[in-house]
């Protein structure tokens, strides 16, 4: 994720406290209702790669996210050897571009001068993962390499997140069918690039096979900012496509609030 609040952080963010609160609630709910299942550990650690159908299925995704101080677009795909509906390996490529602004200040002979700086952001990820289903719960675990570049203008020598950064990333995504008409998802990730973290929870209701809606909440940030969101989403299911619209209230460490909006597209092949 990336800065959404428009202000520089004056203290170090505390990612793990908020990440555990958001993700822990959803993940614990999934585990509490999931029956025990025996896993074939040798097959998991040493799969028969020659027998894998490497073009068994794929998911593509894209979207745009906007606030009063930021705009970001992204896209990517996940390859599912052996088929999307089967447990096993997952391979994901992701890329995103956008920009945000934040308020900055400098000392001068005339006093303190405040002005806006703009940061252009480029992100890319290559992740390898595994999907496992346990009763009504489906979990995906990913690990891989993440890249992020932030070009700030006017240049900000005091901003440690400017420039290029490469590191490792880990992510977990869970989905739990609460009932034929309700589901819960809980996702979390952490990357050593800028100590970036994110956590998100959605509770979806399905009054109709083609429609889902419900509340959502998230936290995200890195070593220089800390933000959170609370809102709602609506999702339209159309054959192999899903279109999701979401919006609500966004805040940051300064307790400043504003709005956010997002549009996401998902396609299965």
Q: Which domains does the chain have, with CATH numbers?
A: 15-37+53-268 (2.40.160.40)
37-74 exposure pattern, b = at least 16 Cβ within 10 A, e = fewer: eeeeeeeeeebeeeeeeeebbebebebbbbbebbebeb
Model confidence at 58: pLDDT above 80: yes
Q: Which residues of 221-236 are buried (b: 16+ CB within 10 A; e: fewer)?
A: bbebbbbbbebebebe
Percent of the chain residues topping a pLDDT of 70: 76
Q: What pTM does this model have? A: 0.78
For the segment 173-184, the average pLDDT, to the nearest whole number, is: 95
| Gap between the Cα atoms of 267 and 269, Å rounded | 7
CB 269 within 8 Å of CB 59: yes
Two tokens, residue 224: 């220089």
What confidence tier does 187 reach under pLDDT thresholds 50, 70, 90?
A: very high
In this prediction, residue 33 has a pLDDT band, given cuts at 50, 70 and 90, of very low
Q: Does position 195 have pLDDT exceeding 90, yes or no?
A: yes
Give me the count of residues in the chain.
Answer: 269
């Amino acid at each position: 994720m990336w800065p959404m609040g428009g202000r520089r952080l004056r203290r170090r963010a505390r990612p793990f406290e908020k990440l555990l609160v958001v993700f822990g609630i959803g993940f614990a709910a999934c585990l509490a209702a999931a029956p025990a299942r025996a896993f074939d550990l040798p097959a998991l650690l040493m799969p028969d790669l020659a027998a894998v159908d490497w073009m068994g299925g794929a998911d593509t995704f894209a979207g745009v996210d906007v606030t009063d101080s930021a705009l970001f677009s992204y896209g990517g795909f996940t390859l599912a050897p052996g088929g999307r509906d089967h447990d096993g390996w997952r391979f994901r490529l992701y890329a995103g571009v956008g920009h945000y602004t934040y308020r900055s200040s400098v000392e001068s002979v005339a006093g303190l001068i405040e002005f806006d700086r703009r940061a252009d952001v480029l992100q890319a990820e290559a992740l390898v993962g595994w999907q496992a289903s346990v009763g009504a719960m489906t979990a995906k675990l990913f690990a891989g390499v993440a890249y992020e570049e932030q070009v700030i203008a006017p240049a900000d020598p005091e901003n440690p997140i400017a420039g290029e950064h490469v590191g490792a990333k880990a992510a977990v995504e869970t989905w739990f069918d609460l009932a034929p008409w309700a589901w819960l998802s809980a996702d979390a990730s952490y990357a050593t690039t800028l100590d970036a973290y994110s956590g998100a929870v959605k509770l979806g209701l399905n009054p109709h096979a083609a429609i889902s809606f419900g509340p959502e909440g998230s936290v995200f940030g890195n070593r220089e900012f800390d933000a959170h969101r609370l809102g709602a989403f609506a999702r339209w299911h159309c054959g192999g496509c899903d279109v999701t619209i979401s919006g609500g209230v966004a805040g940051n460490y300064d307790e400043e609030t504003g709005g956010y909006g997002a549009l996401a597209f998902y396609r299965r092949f």
